[in-house]
Chains A and B, each alone.
Chain A
Amino acid sequence: MSLVVLIISAAIVNNFVLTYFVGICPFIGVSKKIDAALSMGIAVTFVMTITAIVTWIINRFILIQLGLPFLEYVSYIVVIASLVQFVEMFIRKTSPALYKTLGIFLPLITTNCAILFVALLHTMRGYGFIESVVFGIGAGVGFTLAIVIMAGIREQLETADIPKPFQGAAITLIVAGILALAFMGFSGLVAA
């Protein structure tokens, strides 16, 4: 699979949020305003790419070398948790402006299942190093796209007259369903 196809597949055709249902919590929680959604998307893409790099190295050179594939989940979650903490400290020291925008979202990313999903999928599908990195970027772009579109729709929803039982999470899920239907239109774009 060429890298361009891989990135389009991860970002649009098999969109993480709308096809694999990962990263739903921030998708619903942080999609009220477009700016916040965009910051969250950028933060997730950033962490996702680094996670893909680090977990690929760990899987290839530690877990497989030592015959410990059953430690995959435990080691990945520790890596992700510490990575997020590390990225947070790094951004706070080097770029206070960026930290102001991303700061509150970073701790939330640890429990974002999309991050762990990237690590699990590139292991499961046996991607090479470059492929894993590109896959991480593509998945992050797809997440950003979905959450920004969702925020745009929700800003409009605020003025809409929604029946009481549908207010809150229910209407958000239905909007996501319609969005998923729309994204199904891309499904013929890439085989596999």
Chain B
Amino acid sequence: MATRSITYEFAKGLIKNNPVFVQVLGMCPVLAVTTSVVNGLGMGMATSFVLVSAALIGSLIKPLVPSEVRIPVYAVVIATFVTIADLVLRAFFPPLSASLGPYVPLIVVNCVIMGRIEAFATRNGPGPAVSDALGMGAGFTAALMVLGAVREVLGSGAFFGIELFGEGFTPLLVMILPAGAFLTLGVLMAIFNALKEGSHTVLIKAESKAEA
């Protein structure tokens, strides 16, 4: 039973409660760094690392923390892991660190992390807490990579930095500009909603509207 529920805690973050498409959390990095798949992957991994570590610590120290000061305490825990992630990125992946820029420290205020600690990690044991955090992190990373892929292919005609099209391709510059981030995420979210609703009900509605 225990293992089954742990798998469930992991899986729910991927689609059912996807932090980006369903809960609409942590929007700043989602929009800011997804000009390429690599950036999305890097940001997703860094956020997942912080999320998992902070969820583990959060669930372990819960009995020691008075509830009035829990938010600042968790903020300090999160900020500590963000500092670690930032220093590791700077030391081992300097180009990635440079392109993520000030958005790495902004992981501190990513509401996905505080939200999972507050809503899940502190109410469950370390096992489910880590599993939930891994699932949420994976869902977050996947969303960032999808967005990054769409924007990189359309905006620079490449995928993982590899040129896809010949000389004749004119990149849609707007996709890697800020406006493209909002538009892409908006459309992807609508597609996600439509798929979740069951695509045929949407089609039937569109048909009846066209007839009317």
Cα separation A82 to B180 with both chains bound (whole Å): 36
Cα separation A167 to B76 with both chains bound (whole Å): 37
Residues of A near B102 (CB, < 8 A) are 117, 120-121, 124
Verify A81–B202 contact, CB threshold 8 A: no
Residues of B near A18 (CB, < 8 A) are 178
**Quick one: closest A residue to B113, CB to CB?**
A111
Residues of B near A70 (CB, < 8 A) are 83, 87
Residues of A near B183 (CB, < 8 A) are 173-174, 177-178
A4 within 8 Å of B (CB atoms)? no
Cα separation A174 to B189 with both chains bound (whole Å): 10
A63 within 8 Å of B (CB atoms)? no
Cα separation A115 to B109 with both chains bound (whole Å): 10
**Quick one: closest A residue to B33, CB to CB?**
A21
Minimum CB–CB distance from A66 to chain B (whole Å) comes to: 16
Residues of A near B205 (CB, < 8 A) are 164
Q: How many A-B residue pairs have CB under 8 A?
A: 130
Secondary structure at chain B's binding surface: helix, strand, loop or mixed?
A: helix
Residues of A near B109 (CB, < 8 A) are 77, 111-113, 115-116
A78 within 8 Å of B (CB atoms)? yes
Residues of A near B111 (CB, < 8 A) are 25, 111
Minimum CB–CB distance from A14 to chain B (whole Å) comes to: 10
Cα separation A171 to B193 with both chains bound (whole Å): 12
Minimum CB–CB distance from B93 to chain A (whole Å) comes to: 18
CB-CB contacts below 8 Å: B46-72 with A = 71-72
Count of chain B residues with a beta carbon within 8 Å of a chain A beta carbon: 45
A22 within 8 Å of B (CB atoms)? yes
Verify A81–B71 contact, CB threshold 8 A: yes
B75 within 8 Å of A (CB atoms)? yes
A30 within 8 Å of B (CB atoms)? no
Minimum CB–CB distance from A118 to chain B (whole Å) comes to: 11
Cα separation A120 to B130 with both chains bound (whole Å): 30
Verify A21–B27 contact, CB threshold 8 A: yes
Taking A115-B109, A167-B193, A169-B186 as known contacts, 18 extra A-B pairs with beta carbons closer than 8 A to each other, sorted by chain A number, are A18-B178, A21-B27, A22-B32, A23-B28, A25-B27, A73-B83, A74-B76, A110-B71, A110-B75, A116-B109, A120-B102, A124-B102, A165-B197, A170-B190, A174-B183, A177-B181, A180-B178, A184-B178
Interface pairs A-B: 7 shortest CB-CB:
A177-B182, A173-B186, A174-B186, A177-B183, A24-B27, A180-B179, A165-B194
